[in-house]
Amino acid sequence: MAFDIEMIKAVYARFPERIAAARKAVGRPLTLTEKILYSHLSEGAASEAFERGKSYVDFKPDRVAMQDATAQMALLQFMQAGRDQVAVPSTVHCDHLIQAEVGAVKDLTKAKDKNREVYDFLASVSNKYGIGFWKPGAGIIHQVVLENYAFPGGMMIGTDSHTPNAGGLGMIAIGVGGADACDVMAGLPWELKFPKLIGVKLTGKMSGWTAAKDVILKVAGILTVKGGTGAVVEYFGEGARSLSATGKGTICNMGAEIGATTSIFGYDEKSAAYLEGTGRADIAALANGIAAHLTGDDEVYANPESYFDQVIEINLSELEPHVNGPFTPDLAWPISKFAAAVKENGWPAKLEVGLIGSCTNSSYEDISRAASLAQQAVDKKLTAKSEYTITPGSEQVRYTVDRDGFLDTFGKMGGVVLANACGPCIGQWARHGADKQEKNSIITSFNRNFAKRADGNPNTHAFVASPEIVTALAIAGDLTFNPLTDTLLNEEGQAVKLDEPQGLELPTKGFAVEDAGYQAPAEDGSTVDVIVDTDSERLQLLESFPAWEGTDLKGLKLLIKAKGKCTTDHISMAGPWLRFRGHLDNISNNMLIGAVNAFNDETNKVKNQLTGEYGEVPATQRHYKQMGIGTVVVGDENYGEGSSREHAAMEPRFLGVRAILVKSFARIHETNLKKQGMLGLTFANPADYDKVLEDDVIDIIGLESFAPGKPLQVVLHHADGSTDTIEVNHTYNQGQIEWFKAGSALNLIKAGV
């Protein structure tokens, strides 16, 4: 569980020289983001004058963090890389496979039995290759990382889209696919398009019902789910310095919902207090020694419009609590306008369940503030009208809030404590009655609320708010209740009003834990055997993808033309499919089953051009593969938004899809496609999406001279004998083109290239 103090010393030692060189090269003051990026350049990346949003740059991250659902495929790939040990400190966290059903103890016991072979594999492969292993029940990856590994000025990649949570402690932390993690663990540089910069200036200071969560809910409303794509969001100002480190983590965590590469806050007194409070005073002391380098230059923040590509200003003193949703995290409603929105849109006003916790809002501060409202409910003789669940972020947080009486308070209000795991936030929720698909409303302090995400019911209207607002609305059982202004009738028929929530950023008696759940790897893993049953339905050793044939791709069939939002949940669903995350063949049976077919407005029903019949997407694709025919998937805007799961790229690659052609990509998904040797293409003219017809046979022309910045051509052969030739763009650089030619990035690693 050591936080690699010598590595941190080395990072800080190079900061002054690297930053001075970068400042000289660009001829101007630097943002915090630029300081950290420039200080982590790979040896071959000598120039600091990178063009934002265009230049691909090689970096050397300090850490890798993996959650159990994505770690399976990442480590199966790493096993093929021919390395004896990971090259950088790395950890695996078992948080995604624990299903919430009745309560923490029973759910965790059931998960350990149900997922034993996966946990045994992850523990053994971690033990062999020098990877720290956090056992099931230890906590959610991002909270555990914030408590143990995140440090100001560091750079980390993680196989989860909410890795940016560590930005709350001033770390550049970026969500990636498992192939990227494999590269870094193998000691190779990690490539990223140099991001654009969005500055968010926070003034004033929050009070009352407003929480850090409301900052990102407001920002999501401004930027939308794709407004941060290709950019790092850097928060600064007096308001930023007033927020707790975990509050900052909440904001950075949910930056994934605006498509941001990552988000970050500078190092300050709150950062130091959190480091000291979590047993890392020595890191705080080191950071204090270079504090000027762990924030943007004064000139940048004095005149941000000159240094950021976009600037947003929010006055925390005036910020209202927000509720976002339903069905998308960027539909933002100030609490004063939310009740009217519920009525005008006909959303179910009765609140069925309130859920707090998750990686976004599971800190001591979050739980203590929510508990203050639960205590009010008890004291004021109010009975919670909705079901109410609590998900602690880590065993350390759970143990501490239990010691301090908060869990007992929730119990008196009728709350149920779930395991220290992702649970309902990622669809791991055995919600009773969800199969009836009744129209209903829930509210969470989670980050995502796409249709069917939490419980599989497309009619569940999921809303996102702070833990405080979630708790208040759960007590009321009514979405139209405004706790800032409205009263409730208690058991004695009296009208009572909830007081403003109160809480503590850090426990006054310090954090405590009996068993944090950490397992250190063997010092010498050469004799350790990795446990994989050859007959397993859940784990499957990988075989290399075939190399490119060296010719243009002709005679491809259209598999599906996806209409509207197509997230990684639509491409490769979670929930019950999580059990197959280590078995590529089996999980490929969920490929694109959630995507809406533009030709019939149905899901999982596409035309098989060979038979003329309609069938399920995976079965249709398997038939094409059996017949040796490649296919193309066509999609809409921001294709692949959502989680970092590379299965959404590996499944179509495995089943024989040759190209994904869309109006625009979400960043992580586009990179994942490239890593797996897939063609990720965009319409030069988005209106050409409409030219794609159901029975089209497709040629991709220009691959024999495939080069950076050079468009390709797609020829659509229609069933009536006519054709359309359209131009398509790509963002492949020369290195990525070599991945495509080799069949995947991993193929090059194995070849020693």
Q: Give the pairing of strands 231-236 and 262-265.
A: parallel
Q: Which of 407, 413, 404, 442 is nearest to 425 (CA)?
A: 442
Phi, psi at residue 655, to the nearest 5°?
-90, 0
Q: What tokens does 374 get?
A: 């639960």
Q: Is the dihedral of CA 479, 480, 483, 487 positive or negative?
A: negative
**How many helices and strands, by DSSP H and E, does the chain display?**
25, 30
> In the Cβ-directed half-sphere of 226, how many Cα atoms lie within 13 Å?
14
How does 214-225 read in b/e, with b if 16+ C-beta sit within 10 Å? bbbbbbbbebbb
Q: How far is CA 48 from CA 57, 349, 404, in A?
A: 10, 54, 50
Say if strands 495-496 and 518-519 run parallel, antiparallel, or are unpaired: unpaired
Give the end-to-end CA distance of the chain in Å, rounded to a whole number. 33
Instruction: Give the number of other CB atoms < 10 A from CB of residue 400.
Output: 22
Quote the CA–CA distance of 460 and 85 in Å, as a whole number. 45
Distance of CA 510 to the CA centre of its chain: 30
Place of tokens 């494999």: 182
Residue 699: closest CA among 579, 556, 512: 556
Alpha-carbon Rg of the chain, whole angstroms? 25
3-class secondary structure, 93: strand
From residue 545, alpha-carbon distances to 301, 582, 742 in Å are 48, 16, 9
Which distant-in-sequence residues (6+ apart) come within 8 Å of 554 by Cβ? 699, 700
Under 8 Å CB-to-CB from 640, ≥6 apart: which residues?
566, 567, 568, 571, 648, 665, 666, 668, 669, 670, 672, 673
Which residues are identified as catalytic? 95-96, 160, 448, 643, 645
- For strand 712-717 and strand 697-701, is the pairing parallel, antiparallel, or unpaired? antiparallel
Distance CA 650, CA 672 (A): 8
Q: Of the candidates 89, 366, 118, which has an alpha carbon nearest to the alpha carbon of residue 248?
A: 366
Nearest CA to 500 out of 206, 203, 205, 204 is that of 206
Query: How far, in Å, CA of 604 to CA of 584, rounded?
Result: 19
CA distance 235 to 33: 10
Q: What are residue 119's phi and psi, to 5 degrees?
A: -65, -40
Look at the chain and count its residues. Answer: 753
Give every CB contact of residue 729 below 8 A, 6+ residues apart in sequence. Answer: 681, 682, 683, 684, 711, 712
- Tokens representing 113 are 């039995």
What are the φ and ψ backbone dihedral angles of 553, each rounded to 5 degrees?
Answer: -100, 120
326: preceding bond cis by omega (within 30 degrees): yes
The 387-391 sheet, strands edge to edge: 332-334, 322-324, 460-464, 440-444, 351-357, 387-391, 416-417
Strand partners for 200: 235, 312
Alpha-carbon gap, residue 586 to 588, rounded angstroms: 5
- Among 510, 215, 470, 518, CA closest to 364: 510
